Amino acid sequence: MSFSSLVQDLSLRDASTSRRPAMPRGDASVSTVDDRASCLSRAKSYASTAATSVSISGDIGSQLHAGYSHPLARSWQAERQLTKSMLIYPLFISDQDDEEVLIPSLPNQYRRGINRLVPFLEPLVHKGLRSVILFGVPMRPGTKDALGTAADDPEGPVIRSIQLLRRRFPHLYIVCDVCLCEYTSHGHCGILRDDGSLNNQLSVDRISDVAVAYARAGAHCVAPSDMNDGRIRAIKLKLIEEGIVHSVTLMSYAAKFSGCLYGPFRDAAGSTPSFGDRRCYQLPPGGRGLARRAIVRDINEGADIIMVKPAGQYLDIIADAKELGRDLPVAAYQVSGEFAMIHAAAKAGVFDLKAMAFESTEGILRAGATIIVSYFVPEFLDWLSN
């Protein structure tokens, strides 16, 4: 009932139940004013009583607005708040030392040679950049072959970049993606059999060798993204054999789903398969049970961090990863297609770019991630400072 309705209701009640003696003609106007004031006062009291009865008739905790009525109070409602230390920035590193080429399908992102890295990273490090993940991109003719032998070449882009970044930015945490797709002539994430299917055993042996080579070069963290069965255990055992397991974090792309969101990345890394697709070793989009099994498997094989990729379409899997690996950090990769879609929609005027960058990332954090791999990192370094 509205306030005006309450007043009218009370007036009608008074008219039907109150029969006061007639007042002298000279006092009529005073009486009318007094009656109206009395009616208004009682209406306010009635409204207050009605509101109180509504709020306490059920759970008193139904009154929530005060908890987020102020900007600071709103920030306190988040279980996890985005900080610079949560962010990992992907870098595409070419074997063309002086290259700096814009990736058309990946807004504001470049493929850079090693000579371009330090000038690009220096201002970001000063703004608070804490971590990067390296993807090598061999561009020289004849570099790729069936075994991906260039992946751990000491003169290749990844190992040289690790060594350079360790010297120039000693506090920068260096993650290395470990896969063969950028280095194989066929573009798949391992070694193939004669019939074109993935040879899991040979692939795991090769992937684990590459991971150890990156670790020896100085990587703080190795992150196998190939999705071959058993590669976490193989890498962990080789790190133990090398005597460096205590100082190298093993981050597993445990729940990496196949799909159409990797197109811009493949443009950047030159890793599009020359035939077929990756559906036989990357998870199917509807395979929540498979993802849970893969997460449990990789935890049992010695993963230190679990990653889910892509992020925005798989918030339930991020929540599952946090549940299954409650004692491990959970990373999520907002992949190139997600990033490009946000940019495209913002350019079309659908929403504000900054607002959606935060909203999408906060959704990932809310699901359970504490580490975010994102192409928005340079912008976040500015936005979080302001």
Residues annotated within a binding site for Zn(2+): 179, 181, 189
Annotated binding-site residue numbers? 179, 181, 189, 266, 278, 336, 375
d(CA 339, CA 337): 5
> Which residues make up each annotated binding site for 5-aminolevulinate?
266, 278, 336, 375
- Is 256 a residue of the active site? yes
Q: Which of 84, 256, 347, 354 is catalytic?
A: 256
DSSP letter at 184 equals B
Residue burial 82-96, b: 16+ Cβ < 10 Å; e: rest: beeebbbbbbbbbbb
Q: Are 268 and 317 in contact (CB under 8 A)?
A: no
Task: Tell me, yes or no, if 236 is annotated catalytic.
Answer: no
Parallel, antiparallel or unpaired: strands 371-373 and 330-333: parallel
Half-sphere exposure of 100 (CA within 13 A, CB side): 9
Q: Spell out a b/e string for 193-218, using b for 16 or more CB atoms within 10 Å of the CB, else e.
A: eeeeebebeebbbbbbebbbbbbbbb
Q: Are 135 and 88 within 8 A, CB to CB?
A: no
Q: Which of 144, 236, 309, 322 is catalytic?
A: 309
Taking CA atoms, 260 is separated from 108, 182, 337, 338, 348, in Å, by 21, 18, 8, 10, 21
Catalytic machinery residues: 256, 309
